[in-house]
Amino acid sequence: MRTVEVNLIGVMRTAAATVPALVDRGGYLLIVSSAAAFAALPGMAACCASKAGVEQFGNAVRLELAHRGVAVGTAHPSWVDTDLVREARADLPAFETALAKLPWPLRRTTTVTECAEAFVRAIERRSRRVYVPRAVAGVQAMRSVLVSPLADRLVGRTARATVPLIEEQSRALGRGFGVSTPQGRP
């Protein structure tokens, strides 16, 4: 639930708080979704669901605010080299293994600088979408294949082994993964 609260509800609250200023200035809102919005990744249900929700929220808000002179874009980065990703890799060897098995560009980790530069370009251009790396656009274009019965069979084979390992490794930590992750709420 915390993932959904942060990823989706937090985005909605932030957007709502900024709308008056955006309307006053004919501004631009860049909402951060993820490549996780395009495919179901075993072990990441809350992340995938919340990021798909963010994407659709951005699509709806774009239409709702267009007549008021506000442009809205959505950002879809793959893995960004943040504490969260580094700590998941360090704490959960099965996560590292699963990440390595993802097809390119979904297994690629992007630097924070590369991601920030792409976001700045998107803001300057008032882009409808930004993909980091750019090849994530191809993943978005193939999303119907990524959630097809064939994909379910292929991914399901890996998930049968990987998800129990990630769950076991998470329980063995005795805490949320990542030393930077707040431990107060699950």
What single string gives the DSSP state of each residue in the chain?
A: -HHHIIIIIHHHHHHHHHHHHHHHHT-EEEEE--GGGSS--TT-HHHHHHHHHHHHHHHHHHHHHHTTT-EEEEEEE-EE-SHHHHHHHHH-HHHHHHHHHSPTTTTPEEPHHHHHHHHHHHHHHT-SEEEESTTHHHHHHTHHHHTSHHHHHHHHHHHHHHHHHHHHHHHHHTS-SSTTS--S--
- The region of weakest confidence among 52-56, 71-75, 134-138, 152-156 is 152-156
Whether residue 133 contacts residue 73, with contact meaning beta carbons closer than 8 Å, is answered with no
- pLDDT higher than threshold 80 for residue 168: yes
pLDDT at 11: 98
The most confident of 111-120, 140-149, 153-162, by mean pLDDT? 111-120
- pLDDT higher than threshold 60 for residue 185: no
- pLDDT higher than threshold 50 for residue 116: yes
The stretch 126-139 carries a mean pLDDT of 96
Whether residue 143 contacts residue 34, with contact meaning beta carbons closer than 8 Å, is answered with no
- pLDDT higher than threshold 90 for residue 64: yes
pLDDT at 34: 97
The stretch 138-151 carries a mean pLDDT of 92
This prediction has a pTM of 0.88
**Other C-beta atoms within 10 Å of 92: how many?**
23
